[in-house]
Amino acid sequence: MYEPSPVGRSAPADAVIHVEGLTKTYVTAAGPFPALKGVDLSISHGEYVAIMGPSGSGKSTFMNLLGCLDTPTAGDYYLVGRNVAHMANDELATLRNRTIGFVFQGFNLLPRMSLQDNVALPLVYSHLDRETRRRRAREMLAKVGLDSYADSFPARISGGQQQRVAIARALINSPSLILADEPTGNLDSHTSEEIMALFGQLNDEGITVVLVTHEHDIADHAKRQVRFLDGLIVSDALTPVRAEAAGSTTATAPVTAGQGAPAC
Amino acid sequence: MLRAMLGEAWHAMGSNKMRTALTMLGMVIGVGSVVLMMAIGQGAQYAVAQTISTMGSNLYVIIAGTTQASGVRSGGGFGFTLRVADAEAIAELEDVTYVAPMQQGTQQLVYGSKNWSATVVGTTPEYLDARSWTLASGYVFGESDLRSATRVALLGKTVIENLFEPGEAPLGKTIRVRNTPFTVIGTLNPKGQNLDGRDQDDTIIIPLSTSQRKVFGVPFAGSVRSIIVQAASAEAMPSVEKSVTALLRQRHRLRDDAENDFYIRNLAAAADSAAETTRVMSMLLGAIASVSLLVGGIGIMNIMLVSVTERTREIGVRRAIGARQKDILAQFLLEAIMISVTGCLIGLVLGVGGALLTNAITDMVIVISGGSVLVAFGVAAAVGVFFGFYPARKAAALDPIEALRYQ
Ligand SMILES: Nc1ncnc2c1ncn2[C@@H]1O[C@H](COP(=O)(O)OP(=O)(O)OP(=O)(O)O)[C@@H](O)[C@H]1O
Ligand SMILES: [Mg+2]
């Protein structure tokens, strides 16, 4: 299923994510600060991508743009084939609601709501009825193995469990894409493994997963690794072990940002 | 969607009960005091309107003044310039419905072993018509009584209560006024207090001629202290005043440069000013109470601002998972309105309760109108929207990324 080519052969139409010359310049008191300096990247349906890079290299900035939470200073971004650059605020909100599932480092569950209500929250903004919301939330909680905690509250469960609930929330509207910025950053290594196993399972089910991490062993769960440095992609390669395990060609050597960019 | 949002707003309110309760307290006190003050104000207005309606409408009282010719000027009501014949002449004027010459004073009444002092009014039957004063029992004296100065009397309720035993029928009994025996031929329906707070039922009415001969006495035949005049309508009052003045000046043969030898007092104007005074007082009460409503609103705004800051991350999460700006706006606005409307409902109950209590422990008249309840409710909702809007807009305007990063 996975096309073993980091050099995006796919046209924007069948890519979940396709960015060209993506630039983000923050306006700061000290003057303009270029956090992204023209990034090209294509991610197809069903891919599992880890984004790595030193602190301040622009990973979160990039994720915020992918998540339609922020707008680029320049460049184009096609999300499931639609150019989001010029979409209105409300349109972006709807797009986030229907197409993207967010998983945060700090879980970000709403403390006063039961886990079930937390999971169901995106559906409130999809204007689904109460019964459907309840049923789907139960299903998602079951999927992450926490259906028995449906009426419990975030403060009563462990960090790993909270992150599972957050993943259930991200999944509830059947998104094409899961975006996770350091999802294991607040978890111990054992729990991190569990969460990564969950992401792996979701990816096996065909959901595109893009996550940011600092840790190599976390990144190795992904099938493809993209490395940022100073606002640019400096390498884009398949994960060696995974590539072998998938029975594809032998380990792909890291490629330069220029090569990693889609041909179009 | 709305139901989900209402549920969430309710939930949010319940999540910090102490704070919500204290915020609400501002609205409770505000609405409660508005309702109570309006009830008291409207009660006062109602009471004054009641009193005015007992006075009789569109009335003038003409009081005998001083004659300059006499050389000695004395105060109003002490002159002897008015005649019964003046009253008869006034009755012929246009737009005059009733005219009654009258004389009154306080006298000692005796019945059996009891005695009581009351206002004795000597007048003609038209006096009762002008003041819309009806009888509870018996009949009014007539022309023949006036002509032959019969000793008959109509008694007010207070007089009856003080002279007779409870249950004793006054009709046909003989009471003494200044040692002159009078037969009670009628009893008057109660009128309550007048605008000055005097008990109008502490009155006995007798024929004018009888009062002059047996009770008060007159300096010379045909003179009278005052004349009560009723105009046909409120609009006719100014013209009636003019024509009465002209007529009296002419009848009294006053030279153009001479002052009036009588006073005309407009009772309707006095009533209007009393009504106006209570209306202003009622508005003032409401206005002062409204200030507490305003303070309550500011309390809501304050707490909503705190809430927005506290829940910045929550707002970021909601935006990330698909809430539009207007969804966030609606959420916080709804919460503010809910606090204010709930506070309003409680305030309404307490205000009405307070009004009923005031009514029970004092003899103040209380009027709770549906209007004032509606106004209080509308104002509370408006306060919620007005003071909730700024925090809600602030919440909606938050940048999702900044909000998510907020610690
Ligand atoms: N809102 C902002 N305003 C100004 N500068 C910003 C803003 N957000 C990020 N930056 C700057 O842009 C650069 C990239 O930041 P970003 O958060 O994308 O880095 P990162 O790769 O996610 O780092 P980390 O691994 O520490 O999370 C940093 O130098 C950061 O200081
Ligand atoms: Mg980051």
Instruction: Tell me the two tokens of residue B387.
Output: 């003071």
Residue B313 domain-assigned?
A: yes
Does one domain contain both B373 and B394? Answer: yes
Q: How many Cβ atoms from other residues are within 10 Å of residue B204's Cβ?
A: 27
In chain A, what percentage of residues exceed pLDDT 90? 82
Which is nearest to A58 in space by CA: A227, A243, A190?
A: A227
Parallel, antiparallel or unpaired: strands B180-188 and B174-177: antiparallel
Whether the CB-CB separation of A202 and A233 falls below 8 Å is answered with no
List pLDDT tens digits, range A122-144: 999 999 999 999 999 999 999 99
For chain B, how are helix, strand and coil distributed in percent, rounded to 5?
55, 20, 25
Strand order, beta sheet including A31-44: A31-44, A15-28, A74-79, A82-83
Residue A72 domain-assigned?
A: no
Average pLDDT over residues A168-190: 95
Residue A100: domain span: 46-64+89-245
Residue nearest to atom 2 of ligand 1 (CA): A26
Phi and psi angles of residue B146, each rounded to the nearest 5 degrees, phi first: -65, -45
CB-ligand 1 contact for A58 (6 Å cutoff): yes
Does one domain contain both B121 and B214? Answer: yes
Phi and psi angles of residue B128, each rounded to the nearest 5 degrees, phi first: -65, -40
Chain B contact probe: residue of A60, A90, A110, A125 with most B CBs at under 10 A: A125
In chain A, what percentage of residues exceed pLDDT 70? 86
Distance CA B135, CA B188 (A): 4
End-to-end, the C-alpha distance of chain A in Å comes to: 22
Average pLDDT over residues A103-120: 94
Instruction: Tell me the two tokens of residue B207.
Output: 């024929």
Question: Tell me, what CATH number does A93's domain have?
Answer: 3.40.50.300
- B401 versus A252: the higher-pLDDT residue is B401
Q: How far is B17 from chain A (nearest CA, A)?
A: 13
- How high is the pLDDT of residue A8? 41
Does one domain contain both B36 and B134? Answer: no
- How many domains would you assign to chain A? 1
Angle among Cα A135, A141, A142 to the nearest 5 degrees reads: 90
Does one domain contain both B90 and B40? Answer: no
Which is nearest to B212 in space by CA: B119, B286, B146?
A: B146
- How high is the pLDDT of residue A12? 57
Residues with Cβ within 8 Å of residue B263, at least 6 apart in sequence: B62, B63, B65, B76, B77
- How high is the pLDDT of residue B251? 92
Residue B156 domain-assigned?
A: yes
Instruction: Tell me the two tokens of residue B84.
Output: 């019964």
Residue A78 domain-assigned?
A: no
B359 burial level (CB within 10 Å; 0-12, 13-18, 19+): middle
Residue B214: domain span: 82-260
Q: What three-state secondary structure class fits B17?
A: helix
Confidence tier at A257 by pLDDT (50, 70, 90)? very low
Which amino acid, residue B282? Answer: S
A135 Cβ under 8 Å from any chain B Cβ? no
- How high is the pLDDT of residue B192? 86
Does the pLDDT of residue A220 top 70, yes or no?
yes
- How high is the pLDDT of residue A256? 43
Residue B58 domain-assigned?
A: no
Which is nearest to B128 in space by CA: B48, B185, B44, B50?
A: B185
Does the pLDDT of residue A39 top 80, yes or no?
yes
The stretches in chain B having pLDDT less than 70 are 1, 66-79
List pLDDT tens digits, range A9-37: 444 567 999 999 999 999 999 999 999 99
Residue B64 domain-assigned?
A: no
* Residue after which a domain boundary falls, among B237, B260, B283: B260
Pocket test for ligand 1, best of A25, A28, A59 (most atoms within 8 A of CB): A59
A124 Cβ under 8 Å from any chain B Cβ? yes
A216 Cβ under 8 Å from any chain B Cβ? no
Does one domain contain both B250 and B306? Answer: no
